[in-house]
Amino acid sequence: MAAEVLSKYYGVNLMKEYTTDGKVKHICLDEEDINEKLIQKLGNKFGAYRKKWDAAQNLEKTSDFPLFLQLDINQDCNFQCPHCMLAHEGDIKKYFSAETISEKEYEELIDEAAKYDCPSISLQGTNEPLLSKNLETQIEYAKKNGFIDIMINTNGSALTKNRALKILKSGLTRIRFSLDAVTEEVFNKVRLGGDFKKVIKNIEVFIDLKKELRQELPVIGVNFCVLSENEHEKDSFVDYWKDKVDFVSIQTFTPPTPEKKWNEFYPKKEKKENFNGFKCPQPFQRLVLRNRDITPCCAWYSRELSLGKVGEISLYDAWNSKEMEDLRRLHSEGKWHENPTCKKCVNSIFRLEEFSEGNIEQTKIINFSK
């Protein structure tokens, strides 16, 4: 769908649509420019990685090792945002294991990735990354071992000035603060457990310190996940932040679990579309570490597609396994509905049963990755 149409759809002008996973749409100020800026700053290697990323978005396997590692290795958080799975204890138990990896295992994973020049990593999953005391050393270790794009999303609550300084010096490339609100009143509804004034202050301090240190990186963004509780603040959110940060993301709500109906969370103004030809790019881009399981994607229930556990299979072998090749082929051929997990995932994200009266395979869906 053309960006202009989506801009109209969200009522936000001059914003571009992008997706990194083919499922969740982001409407973003300047996302393409950000990548251009990073290419200028970080050089040819970054440009080559972005080219490969674009090819992966178009379902090409561009190398013998994933382009992106996503680490979802614990579920620690100090907030309970109602739209996030972490506010729903039963679901956490169902979709995540209580396992994690040790620092030594983290380093071994990075060492393996370094052998294949893996370019990008997210050190946060379904958790709050700043609660980890090891975050800065982990970023530094990834940077030292050749990762050129290192990113986190954070709720911003634990970003003291001291922490901000360490993060700024660590080698992080991108940081995105999830806010979902402009006013304290709405923040208190959608970011349960958070202190609005403190979070805003922390972000302002981080922005000022970056300026003081004359650093270009990390690029700083803010995120607004559109929900029924906050949709009326979306435009003022963009207006408030657009000149203060490098990018603003407006994110679509995706249901945390496929079994329940999450109707009360969807924004009222959301337009229902008929979609066409979904093909998931994630198995062409990334491996996601879910607790100790190496999985092909960030679907909450990706453990159902586990390729093996850390210590049992290497990242290289997982990436080049028959299971991964089969999954890639399935998506290349547009047959996602033949895999029960993908069928559940695509159905729940695009609400296909509502559109198709249960005949999911016949439903037309958009390929956001193109």
Ligand X SMILES: C[S@@+](CC[C@H](N)C(=O)[O-])C[C@H]1O[C@@H](n2cnc3c(N)ncnc32)[C@H](O)[C@@H]1O
Asked if 275 and 281 count as a contact pair (C-beta separation under 8 A), the reply is no
Residue 240 binds ligand SF4, judged by CB under 6 A: no
Using CB under 6 A, pick the residue from 122, 124, 306, 341 that binds ligand X: 124
Residue 288 as a binder of ligand SF4 (CB under 6 A): the answer is no
Cα–Cα dist 72/89, whole Å: 17
| Residue 52 found at the interface with ligand X (CB under 6 A) | no
Is 153 a residue that touches ligand X (CB under 6 A)?
Answer: yes
Q: 103-115 and 135-144 helices cross at what angle (nearest 10)?
A: 20
Stretch in the footprint of ligand SF4 (CB under 6 A) among 10-18, 83-91, 213-221, 314-322 = 83-91
Member of 56, 186, 227, 299 binding ligand SF4 (CB under 6 A): 299
Nearer to ligand X, 83 or 328 (CB): 83
Region binding ligand SF4 by CB under 6 A among candidate stretches 8-16, 72-80, 164-172, 317-325 = 72-80
Strand residue runs (E) in the chain = 16-18, 26-29, 68-72, 120-122, 149-154, 174-178, 219-226, 247-252, 286-290, 293-295
Contact 120, 160 (CB under 8 A): no
Beta pairing class for 68-72 and 120-122? parallel
Q: Please select the residue that binds ligand SF4; options are 296, 347, 356, 360, rule is CB under 6 A.
A: 296
Q: Which one, 35 or 367, has the nearer CB to ligand SF4?
A: 367
Which residue, 153 or 363, is less far from ligand X as judged by CB? 153
DSSP symbols for 33-73: HHHHHHHHHH-HHHHHHHHHHHHHHTT---SSS-SEEEEE-
Contact with ligand X (CB under 6 A) among 253, 319, 336, 368: 253
Cα separation values, 206 from 33, 126, 188, 217, 306, Å = 22, 23, 22, 12, 38
Judged by beta carbon distances under 5 to 8 A according to partner kind, the member of ligand X, ligand SF4, none in contact with residue 80 is ligand SF4
Task: Count Cα atoms within 13 angstroms, Cβ side, for 302.
Answer: 27
Question: Per the structure block, which two tokens stand in for 292?
Answer: 């100790």
Among 20, 138, 154, 285, binds ligand X (CB under 6 A): 154
Distances (CA, A) of 64 to 12, 118, 122: 40, 10, 19
Stretch that binds ligand SF4, among 120-128, 139-147, 208-216, 259-267 (CB under 6 A): 120-128
Total residues interacting with ligand X, rule: CB under 6 A: 17
Q: Which residues bind ligand X (CB under 6 A)?
A: 77, 83-84, 124, 126, 128, 153-155, 178, 180, 223, 225, 251, 253-254, 256
